[in-house]
Amino acid sequence: MTLTLPGIQQQQAIAEVLGALDDKIAANTKLAELAETIISVEFDTALQTSDSILKPLLDVFSVEFGEAFKGDKFAEPGSGRPLIRIRDLKTFTSQVWTTESRTKEIVVRAGDVVVGMDAEFRATTWLGDPGLLNQRVCRFSSKLAGPAFVREALKQPLATIENYKTGTTVIHLNKKDLEEATTVVPDAEAINHFESATEHLYALRVMLAAENRALASTRDALLPHLMSGKLRVKEAEEIVAAAI
């Protein structure tokens, strides 16, 4: 096989213009990590400096369980609507779509807190496009505060449940586990302070993830056009400048 490549100077120019997108993605990632660290520290501080209370888990949180969408209605991405399954909680990209509609279906959006119910139980901020909540995944919310509080307050009780189930072949989270679990929550004043200190950081985290997806999509779309010569570097530079 033989390949037709641009000249070395053209290759270097392409790498430079697309590298600007990669640099922006890397900067966004570092900023998102910093925001996550501050949120966790603020929650720990709220617990330690207030009259924290031990409460039944389901007195603090509302939980919604995903629907059992039928396998024969599964479709390739782009056909129907995306399903959010356990395996998607690490990539934030739905690999399976469905053409099915269900009366109790739940649409998950960026920023929602979801938990996989098999193997490991992690309170996860969904950072992908909207999708339908599939079985064995649940969504949590609370009347006390927003999603940053929900995610942080769920970490300890979910870890406790996971730890006492460790040793079985495959561990599963079920409704009974949630009914029997407890969680420690800060007092109302501390929760309000936590919200005011972290709400914008949580929103920033979600926004940065969306921006990184758009930047990566722009980069991946530009590359073949630049390599083929259909798009000039100067034109790509203008597109990249607008994107970042």
pLDDT one-digit tens code per residue, 178-191: 999 999 999 999 99
| pLDDT at residue 22, rounded to an integer | 96
pLDDT range class, residue 167, cuts 50, 70, 90:
low
Task: Please report the pLDDT score of residue 202 as a whole number.
Answer: 98
DSSP letters for 156-204 = HHHHHHHHHHBTBSS-B--HHHHHH-EEEE--HHHHHHHHHHHHHHHHH
Residues 165 and 170: their CA atoms lie apart, in Å, by 9
Per-residue pLDDT tens over the stretch 207-226: 999 999 999 999 999 999 99
Task: Kindly tell me the sign of the dihedral angle through the C-alpha atoms of 131, 134, 136, 140.
Answer: positive
Q: Which amino acid makes up residue 181?
A: A
pLDDT tens for each residue of 32-41? 999 999 999 9
Element (H, E) at 120: none
Mean pLDDT over each residue of the chain, to the nearest integer? 94
| Residue-range domain boundaries for the chain | 1-52+186-244, 53-185
Task: Check whether 166 has a pLDDT greater than 90.
Answer: no
Cα–Cα distance for residue pair 128/81, rounded to 1 Å? 13
pLDDT for position 134: 97
84-93, 97-106, 223-232: least confidently modelled range: 223-232
pLDDT in tens, 34-71: 999 999 999 999 999 999 999 999 999 999 999 999 99
Percent of the chain with pLDDT over 90: 82
What average pLDDT does range 88-105 have in this prediction?
A: 96
Q: Which CATH architecture has domain 53-185?
A: Alpha-Beta Complex (3.90)
User: What does the pLDDT read at residue 119?
Assistant: 87
Residue 99 CA to residue 80 CA, distance in Å, equals 4
Look at residue 168 in the predicted model and tell me its pLDDT.
62
What's the pLDDT score for residue 3?
A: 80
Within 10 angstroms of residue 122's Cβ, the number of other Cβ atoms is 16
Rounded to whole angstroms, the Cα distance separating 2 from 214 reads 33
CB-based burial, 39-60: b 16+ in 10 Å, e otherwise: beebbeebbeebeeeeeebeeb
Instruction: Find the distance separating the first CA and the last CA of the chain, reported in whole Å.
Output: 37
**107-120 pLDDT, tens digit each:** 999 999 999 999 89
Q: Which residues pair with 134 in a beta bridge?
A: 67
* pTM of this structure: 0.91
pLDDT at 170 over 80: no
